[in-house]
Amino acid sequence: MSNHFLNRALWFNKKVSILLITSNKRSFKIIAQPTKAIVSGKVFQKYHEEVQNRNKNFDLSTVWIFKPLEIVEQTLLKRVEEESCKRPYFVHLDRLAKES
């Protein structure tokens, strides 16, 4: 996410949407509000060194602190399961014909 948009959200008290994908391929949409931007000091230094140790080609400009407002799992199998529970009658006719 661009610092430009995050700064704007911070200054004007707006929400942002963050997509998080875990190492085991689960995905989450997080609606959050930026609460703080850290650009120097001990906290910034800690994360800057961590980023540099992982990959020398990346540089860290800001450490962002967010207040999560909503978290929704977006993993495909999870979403299909939720939709079939919410709307059990929304089944394509071809699927009904195969089952009978």
| Residue 90, SS3 per DSSP | coil
Is residue 86, in this structure, part of any structural domain at all? no
The whole model's pTM is what? Answer: 0.71
CATH classification of the domain holding 51: 2.30.110.10
36 domain residue, yes or no: yes
Task: Give the number of domains in the chain.
Answer: 1
Whether residue 33 is contained in a domain is answered as: yes
Encode pLDDT of 7-66 as tens digits: 999 999 999 999 999 999 999 999 999 999 999 999 999 999 999 999 888 889 999 999
The SS3 call for residue 76 is helix
Note down the domain range covering 27. 3-74
- Asked if the structure places residue 22 within a domain, the reply is yes
Q: Is residue 89 a part of any domain in this protein?
A: no
